[in-house]
Structure formats: C-alpha cells, structure tokens
Amino acid sequence: MSTVATRPARRDRHVPHGDVSRRHFLWGTGAALATVGAAGCSSPVAPTTPAPSGAFPVSVPGKEGTATIPAEPNRLFAAGLQRDADIAIALGVTPVAMAKAASFTSGIAPWVETRLGQSKPELVDMSGAQPPLEQIAALEPDLISAVDDYALANHYAQFSRIAPTLSYVEAQNIDTWQQSTTRIAQALGRETQAPGVIAATEGAIAQAAGDNPGLRGKTFSFSVVYSGVIYTVLPGDAAAVVLTQLGLQLAPSIAGLPESATKGRAQVSAEQLSVLDADVTIVSYPTPAERAAIERNPLFPSLDAVKRGAYFELEFSLGVALAFPSPLATPYAVNGLVPALNRALSL
C-alpha cells in the first residue's frame, strides 16, 4: 500500500455515517430498544456550538504520538470502531466520515443513527488489513480521531501525514470512555463540555439503578459465544462495570476465573457451564445455531437460572452497546437491559 502524502483537490460531496464493533467478538442477536421509564436515561448530546475562542492551537499526546491541532476542526474523520464517533456526536460535532459499523445492516449503530437525523457522514470500511488511505485523504479531514482504532499502531504515521491524529493513551478498550471523552473534547476545542456529557451519562446509570432497587445485590453472569466457545466477563470488563453500576454483583463462581487472551473475559468450556449460574444468567449469541448448540449442552437445563426463567439472550445491539460504553451507547444499553433484567428476575 502506498502512503498518501498530499490531499487531492477538494470535491463537493454528500457524506454518509458509520461505526464498527469490537475487533474480535461481542455479538448478540436482534435489535430492539426498550425503555427504562426514567427520563434521565436518554442519551445526552451537547448542542452544536463553535469552540471557544482561544482554544487553539492544542496538542493532545497519546501512545502513538501527539496530535497538534492548529485551529478548530471542521472536518472530522472518526476512524475508531465505536467511541470516536459516539463521543464526537455527544459533544455536538458530526464527523464528515466514520468507520462503517459492519455489525449493523445500515452500517450505523442504532444509538448513533437516532442522533444523526438527516446528517449523512461518509461510511469508510476500516475492516481490511490496510485502511483506505486515498478515500480518507480525499475527505480532507482536519482531524482524525482514532482512540478506538485497534490497528492504529500499524498506520498512525500514514494517518498523521493526512491530518493530526488523536491516539489512545494506553490502548483501545483500556482507556476509559470518560478519559476518551475528555481527550476528544480537548482536540475538538470543547473541553468545557466534556464534564457535563460525562455527568449526564453517569447520571443516567445512577438513575436507572435508583429506579430499580430490586436489582441491588443480585448476582449475574454475562457471556458471549464466539465460534462455539463461551467467553464470560470478568470484573474489569466494560460490560461488567455497567452491570455492577446498576446494582448487580458478578457471580462469585466467575470472579476468580483466569483471564483468556481476550482482556476482561474468561473462556468457559462446555464442562464448566455450571459456573455461569447466577440470579440472572445473560448470554449473547452470534447466530441461532450457536444458541441452539449451547442450549443442547446436557448441563444447560440443570442451571438454576434456566429452571427459574432467569436466563435470557441479550440481543445484538444491546450487547454491542454494553461492550462499548460511551455517552451514546451506555444509555441505550441501560434502556434496553433494565426491563429484560426485571423480567428475568420477576421484579
């Protein structure tokens, strides 16, 4: 792949929007948005306003390099899998282009789609071994946000020749969403808006927890099936964090399991299925066939959660939203998850 050192002449074009899910697996099945009944659980989005005067130039250091932005960005390319676009939109900035959400038919995550309205940022397929540098350069971005780009170490230098490129601090999905929100806000000249966006998101979770006290103290397991293998979340996983913030507790049988090659997740064999038992057992499957295979396991019907009706499949969009916490995804996940938890627990 040749590098791109110069920008082609600017073209007038309408630009479509997108995003992608986690590099390996975090799938469920289906897509439906339920409501918690708590008005405070809607996704907070800051109004579109210009950056304060004097906010630029600004330099934002990261693991792969420092992004030095000379003036307020007007043409943002959100290159990462999830949070780059989510956070920018929550701060009131619509990217000219975003990574395509291959997990969704439209190429756009539903919590992003509802916020875009008639805006149509361009979808960029970032799933290949190399990013489409010519397409990205043709957009003439003045900032590339890539805090959630899993392959950024491989093409940071190429991106930086196109536009200032914002990197993660430590790694994708290790930087907290609050940390990424603060840094993206700084790069966009909206640093003063970040605390309010963060507080509104955290407040949505807290309100849902307060409005649903029956969840408090109940144990849970949350697992994702990938190619017939069960991966269950451990205490540090992003999904586990949100569930515990709602008042639930990770099942003791899981808390001590060894971490697999996928950070924050333990691999559970078919013979270990009993460790998933909890007050509520949640599993996300990529296909109906994968679900049928797990449920055919002779140990599955013996789980107390299954006998009580406290086992349920987490549908696709909620699984992705739960796995990628952000100011847009997290309220969406909470809105859909809490009613399902209440039904499973007969609350």
Q: What is the pLDDT of residues 111-157, one digit of tens each?
A: 999 999 889 899 999 988 899 999 999 999 999 999 999 999 999 99
Regarding predicted confidence, which is higher, 47 or 282? Answer: 282
Looking at residue 49, its pLDDT comes to: 53
> Distance (Å, rounded) from C-alpha 319 to C-alpha 345?
19
C-alpha torsion angle, residues 160, 163, 167, 172 (rounded to 10)? -100
> Average pLDDT over the chain, rounded to whole?
85
Check if the beta carbon of residue 130 is closer than 8 Å to that of residue 111: no
3-class SS at 250?
strand
Count the neighbouring beta carbons within 10 Å of the beta carbon of residue 87.
30
pLDDT for 33: 30
Q: Where are the alpha helices (DSSP H) in 189-315?
A: 194-211, 238-245, 252-255, 288-295, 304-308
> Can you tell me the mean pLDDT for 36-53?
43
| 70: CB partners within 8 A, 6+ apart | 56, 57
Q: Give me the count of residues in the chain.
A: 347
Lowest mean pLDDT among 23-37, 153-167, 284-298: 23-37
The H or E element spanning position 60 is strand 58-60
Chain centroid offset of residue 268 CA: 24
On whether the CB atoms of residues 204 and 44 are closer than 8 A, the answer is yes
Q: Which of 12-16, 175-179, 225-229 has the lowest mean pLDDT?
A: 12-16
Residue 231's SS3 state is strand
Alpha helices by DSSP H, 163-315:
177-188, 194-211, 238-245, 252-255, 288-295, 304-308
DSSP 327: T
**Residue 141 φ/ψ, nearest 5 degrees:** -70, 145
Q: Are the CB atoms for 164 and 71 separated by under 8 Å? A: no
pTM summary value: 0.82
- How far apart are the C-alpha atoms of 147 and 156, rounded to whole Å? 11
Give the whole-angstrom CA distance, residue 68 versus residue 58: 6
The yes-or-no verdict on residue 310 having pLDDT over 90 is yes
77-101 per-position pLDDT tens digit: 999 988 999 999 999 999 999 999 8
